[in-house]
């Protein structure tokens, strides 16, 4: 049984996933309130109550805008399904600046794609139209809630409406 709890910001926006123990501490300190409870019971020295499935913080946590989250090689590869965006290869993966740095390209989610080493060296310092090599997908910042799907193997039913609400 998973003991993960979905944590929502004061605005109901999904924030992260924590352990049931951590969620109980937040609730006892009145920093969070339960929105959904599970069948599982928590026993303290004095009483017992149902463990939360979803909690909402009573204070607002400032979240960096998705576009400003730091670009990392690992996140780029995960976003691109570990697949070269030029030829589809899954071997010898590197990351490539679509508009090369030497041509003024920035290190941003929108300008970096997964590329296998052969495609990367074939493209070199050329622009996509000069090399006639265009990424298969339009590079974007990753799904802001991807971390939630990575943190748990199965998303509980009680979480869905909060994730769907936030995705709209």
Q: Which residues bind Zn ion (CB under 5 A)?
A: 84, 86-87, 89, 116, 119
Q: How far is the CB of 136 from Zn ion (least distance, A)?
A: 10
Residue 24 CA: distances (Å) to CA of 20, 50, 121, 140, 148: 6, 10, 53, 36, 19
Q: How far is the CB of 80 from Zn ion (least distance, A)?
A: 11
Which residue lies nearer to Zn ion by CB, 103 or 136?
136
Q: How far is the CB of 119 from Zn ion (least distance, A)?
A: 3
Nearest to 36 by CA among 25, 21, 23: 23
Tell me phi and psi for residue 69, to 5 degrees. Answer: -65, 145
Q: How far is the CB of 121 from Zn ion (least distance, A)?
A: 10
Residue appearing with tokens 């799907």 = 149
Which residue lies nearer to Zn ion by CB, 4 or 79?
79
**Is residue 42 within 8 Å of 20, Cβ to Cβ?**
yes
Which residue lies nearer to Zn ion by CB, 36 or 96?
96
Strand order in the sheet with 48-57: 14-19, 4-8, 48-57, 32-43
Which residue lies nearer to Zn ion by CB, 54 or 93?
93
């Amino acid at each position: 049984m998973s003991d993960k709890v979905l944590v929502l910001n004061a605005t109901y926006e999904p924030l992260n996933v924590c352990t049931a123990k951590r969620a109980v501490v937040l609730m006892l300190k009145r920093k969070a309130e339960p929105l959904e409870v599970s069948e599982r019971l928590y026993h303290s020295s004095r009483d017992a109550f149902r463990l939360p499935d979803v909690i909402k913080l009573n204070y607002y946590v400032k979240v960096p805008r998705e576009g400003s989250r730091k670009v990392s090689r690992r996140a780029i590869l995960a976003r691109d399904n570990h697949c070269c965006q030029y030829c589809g290869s899954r071997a010898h993966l590197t990351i490539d600046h679509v508009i090369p740095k030497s041509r003024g390209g920035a290190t941003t989610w929108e300008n970096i794609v997964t590329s296998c080493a052969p495609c990367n060296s074939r493209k070199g310092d050329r622009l996509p139209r000069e090399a006639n090599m265009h990424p298969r997908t339009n590079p974007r910042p990753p799904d802001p809630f991807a971390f939630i799907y990575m943190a748990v193997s199965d998303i509980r039913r009680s979480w869905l409406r909060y994730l769907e609400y936030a995705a709209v």
